[in-house]
Amino acid sequence: MKQIKQSIFLIACFLLCLVVSAQAQELRKNISVHDPVMIKQGDNYYLFSTGFGISMWSSKDMENWKREKPVFDAPPQWAVEAVPGFKGHIWAPDICYYDGKYYIYYSVSAFGKNTSAIGVATTPTLDTADPNYKWTDHGKVIQSYPGKTNWNAIDPNLITDKKGNAYLAFGSFWNGLPIVKLTKDRTKIAESPDNLQIIASRKRNLSAPNPPSVDDNPKDAGGNAIEAPFIFKKGKYYYLFASIDYCCKGVNSTYKMIVGRSKDLKGPYLDKEGNRLDSAGGTIILAGDENWHGVGHNAVETFDGKDYLIFHGYDAKDEGKSKLRIEPLSWTKDGWPVVASLQ
């Protein structure tokens, strides 16, 4: 009997070691992502990025990441109907917490066209082991149409003004980056989409025709290479970050990040030299180098009193693959964000 107990104990230890080893193998560093955003719940960091069903990762330290199940098991039906050919590859999410729920805004699109829409889903918790964990989709927030809207409904970012009103900044190419007010429950737009304010563009004159496409960029998108707005409140200013030039080209990516600021959420946003971001302004905060090709599509978050710039870069040492980058963000005496360096 003693030998049987010892055998059972050894088998149990062996199985436990296998489980611990499997869990350790699940954790990855230098994960490959596009368009990352991050939030913290309890002791865990949660990362969301472009992917089938929206990619989701969790971490205890922002270095070792565990892949979680995607937000959606199947493509939302409304998105399949809105975007012909859509099969579930969801772009550029944004995550925030409001009134007891986590909100995730996400993009569905036909590449290179503004046949696009932004949707939103909510869950009471991000802890996948919690029995209350469940994403509820609330459908479409806003949609763009070829030949009708001179903007593209992708790359959403939610920001609230001083009165608590919620706005969605978004956009990619076409006329630039619009901003729209949301309803109180944050699931629909609260104003007409016909005359949305553009808060950033590379065009010096917003009424001018869209610049032509360059290189192999899709013709429909034009050459106004700006996208992915992210607005961050710091002190008395709202800071508008955006990405310019070209992502998604591996070693040929030229992505870089710009910034401007305003005391008013809706702008105008000015760069360090006083140029308006809605008229081709923007101070470059970070660009690629010999180690990283393009860098961009950033978020800015505060964790435990420290600010971080979260983005993806194309790794020159790994055939231009897109990797998660997290850099501490510091601020000059006159209130401008600074990233020390790319390592």
> Which residues, in sequence order, are bridge partners of residue 102?
97, 123
Residue 35 annotated among the catalytic residues of the structure: yes
Report the candidate in 157, 52, 180, 47 with the shortest Cα–Cα distance to residue 105: 157
Q: Which of these, 196, 185, 96, lies nearest to 143 by C-alpha position?
A: 196
Residue 290 annotated among the catalytic residues of the structure: no
Q: Which of 220, 227, 278, 315 is catalytic?
A: 227
d(CA 307, CA 330): 7
What is the C-alpha separation between 56 and 256, in angstroms, rounded? 24
Active site residues: 35, 227
